[in-house]
Amino acid sequence: MADLPELDPVIHGKLRLAILSLLSSVDDAEFTWLRDKTGATDGNLGAHLSKLEEAGYVGVEKKFILRKPVTLYRMTDSGRTALAGYVRALRTLLGTALK
Amino acid sequence: MTEQETQEELLSRFELVEMMLKEGRRSTEYWGWTFVLWGAAYLIAIAWSYWWRQPNLAWPVTMITAAVLTTVVAARKKRAKPQTPVSRAIRGIWTAVGVAIFIFCFAVGLSGHAEMHSYIATIEILLGVANCAVSMVLRWRGQFFIALLWWISAVATCYVGSQWITPILVADTLIGLLGFGLYLMYRERRDRRLRVQHG
State the pTM of this model.
0.72
Using 50, 70 and 90 to split pLDDT, how confident is the model at B159?
very high
Averaged pLDDT, B3-32: 79
Percent of chain B topping pLDDT 70: 91
Position B193 pLDDT exceeds 80: no
Give residue B96's pLDDT: 94
Per-window interface: B 5-34 vs A, CB < 8 A: 7, 10-11, 13-14, 16-17, 19-21, 23-25, 27
Residues 6 or more apart in contact with residue B167 via CB below 8 angstroms? none
Cα dihedral: B43, B46, B52, B56 (round 10): 130
Please report the pLDDT score of residue B125 as a whole number: 95
Q: Name chain B contacts of A17, Cβ cutoff 8 Å.
A: 13, 16-17, 20
Interface probe for A, chosen from B13, B79, B81 (most Cβ of A below 10 Å), is B13
pLDDT mean over B48-54: 82
CA atoms within 13 A on the CB side of A14: 12
Mean pLDDT of all residues in A42-54: 93
Q: Does B163 score more than 80 pLDDT? A: yes
CA distance B154 to A23: 43
Q: What are the strands of the beta sheet with A68-75, ordered from one edge?
A: A29-30, A68-75, A58-65
Judged by CB atoms closer than 8 Å, whether chains meet at B84 and A26 is answered as yes
Domain ranges of chain B: 84-197
| ipTM, 2 dp | 0.84
- Structural contact between residues B127 and B96, judged by C-beta atoms closer than 8 angstroms: no
What's the average model confidence in pLDDT over B114-143? Answer: 91
Q: Is the pLDDT of residue B199 over 60?
A: no
Contacts of B5 (CB under 8 A, 6+ apart): none
| Architecture of the CATH domain A9-92 | Orthogonal Bundle (1.10)
pLDDT category of residue B126 using cuts at 50, 70 and 90 = very high
Instruction: Identify which of A26, A90, A94 has the shortest CB distance to residue B24.
Output: A26
User: What distance in Å separates the CA atoms of residue A30 and residue A43, rounded to the nearest whole number?
Assistant: 15
Confidence of residue A50 (pLDDT cuts 50, 70, 90): very high
pLDDT tens-digit readout, A75-98: 999 999 999 999 988 888 887 666
Contact B81 A18 (CB under 8 A): no
Average pLDDT along chain B? 85
Neighbours of A24 (CB within 10 A): 18
Contact B99, B136 (CB under 8 A): no
